[in-house]
Structure 1
């Protein structure tokens, strides 16, 4: 396991303070606020720590209320709402400076058989056919603004290979959709709970940007005030985040200063492993 992935796994390994009470820390990366995917994943880990071991998360729903402060720990308080015959429900509140910054509800289910169908994975180039790393920055993003290049070239535990990068250096109004291959850059093993938490972490990356494509804008545009408002995720089938997954995204609507984006995560074999939905703030800034 490389250092970046090991640091991510360490960040998700919460400290137990008391029954139903956990503490999480943020890596020292110089960011002004905590990455939303980190709070989602840490809150999910807190819920997992209180759920029966034989029950895996099948859905989560979260609301962002305040930006997280990366300089201080986050306290996660878990309310064990219910343990039924097949399902367990948990409510997690993330707290900093005496105030709630995020809430998450999560549902866990015992493994069982049932009806099974899924939508097909789009026919798109595979990750081996797409630029990555230095070639992505030098050949594809050379014309993109500096904030875009800096974002894509930043060392991280998660590797992205976008099918198209047109929206990063064009001001044209484009269809509100994107497709990105994604994986963790080292093997984290087969633990279902850890794989689900890391998938929740990376599911918050790139998602909000999709709602801006129809307007010829990107998340890096200084004319836009952008922030995640909520995040929902459904886990359909077993997954391994160290393997490539295709993250397909589309935005059916934006209005009232908010944009809605939906996402689907497919394994290399075309298996739909998870679905995502997020509404975010995409408010035009006053430039006076």
Structure 2
């Protein structure tokens, strides 16, 4: 297990400071705001720690309200909205500087037998083992440009393999623009058999590339132009158990953008083609003047 994954698992191990109140931190990075996937994953950990172990999260709905400050801790207040016979509902508010930066409602469900079907079909893409790592592919594109070497050569907690063009590639070649984006990901180390942990890691990874799908449709890329963006809201539905230390295909598309906002949808499939997670996110995207 590399140090980046160890650090992420440590970030997700929140400190409980009072009943239903937890404290998390951010990695020591020279960045201006907290990564949205991090605060969403930590909020889900906080909610999950107040729920009986026989119930798994089946959905979450979240809003990103203010940029998070990575230099100070984040306090997560959990409200026990409902404890029913089959479903448990929690609301989490993440607070910094006395103000809410993020809110999330999460619902948990006991296992029940019932009708089942899957109409979604996993895209036919190359196997992850045949694809280069994201950072290796980016190094070929921008490795000689100032400021990229340190960021691209550092360890990462998630191994991502793109089966679609990178936004930087579409920026340089307009023929590669597409509203679809397929990315394999996994944590490259064996993880404990903790169902909540695997769900939390998928929530973390879900925010990595989804907004990129909107940019890919327009040949835009972070760092290549004057693009400003921020996640506005994020929803996930967890359909069946899966492991984040095994390859998952994140099939993403952007059906719409306009009014300085963009919508993206994603489906996560196991390597065998089982649909395990559905995701929808809207983001603010602005093109600023030079």
- Give the equivalent residue in structure 2 for 1:277: 280
Give the secondary structure class of the aligned counterpart of 1:37.
Answer: helix
* Counterpart secondary structure, 2:208: coil
Say whether the 8 Å CA contact 2:139–2:149 is kept in structure 1. Answer: no
Distance 1:198 1:164, change over 3 A: same
- 1:206 and 2:206 correspond: no
Counterpart Cα distance in 1 of 2:223 and 2:147: 6
Q: Name which of structure 1's ranges 150-159 and 121-130 shifts more when overlaid on structure 2.
A: 150-159
1:239·1:273 contact (CA, 8 Å) conserved in 2? Answer: yes
The alpha-carbon distance between structure 1 residues 166 and 182, as it changes in their structure 2 partners (threshold 3 A), is closer
The Cα shift of 1:142 comes to 4.8
Whether the 8 Å contact between 2:170 and 2:216 is mirrored in structure 1 is no
Q: Aligned in 2, Cα 1:55/1:25: closer, same or farther, shift over 3 Å?
A: same
CA 1:282–1:137: 2 relative to 1, 3 Å: closer
Aligned match of 2:189: 186
Judge conservation of contact 1:147–1:220 (CA < 8 Å) in 2.
no
- 1:103-252 maps to which residues of 2 (within 5 A)? 103-118=103-118, 119-132=120-133, 135-139=136-140, 141-142=141-142, 153-171=153-171, 172=174, 174-252=177-255
Gaps of 5+ in 2: none
Tell me the C-alpha RMSD between the 2 structures.
1.9
Match of 1:12 in 2: 12
CA distance change for structure 1 residues 24 and 149 in 2, over 3 Å: closer, same or farther?
same
Q: Report the counterpart of residue 27 of structure 1 in structure 2.
A: 27
Query: In structure 2, what is the Cα distance between the partners aligned to 1:133 and 1:222?
Result: 20
Shift of 1:166: 4.9
| Residue aligning to 1:71 | 71
TM-score normalised by structure 2 residue count:
0.93
How high is the TM-score relative to the length of structure 1? 0.93
SS of corresponding position for 1:275: strand
Determine if contact 1:133/1:153 at 8 Å carries over to the other structure. Answer: no
C-alpha contact (below 8 Å) 1:177/1:210 kept by paired residues: yes
User: CA offset at residue 286 of structure 1?
Assistant: 3.1
Q: CA deviation at 1:165?
A: 2.9
Task: Give the whole-Å Cα distance in 2 for the aligned partners of 1:144 and 1:217.
Answer: 20
**Offset of 1:170 from its aligned partner?**
3.4
Find the residue that maps to 1:157 and give its secondary structure.
coil
SS where residue 41 of structure 2 aligns?
helix
Partner of 1:81: 81
Bigger mean CA deviation after superposition, 228-237 or 181-190: 181-190
Distance 1:167 1:30, change over 3 A: closer
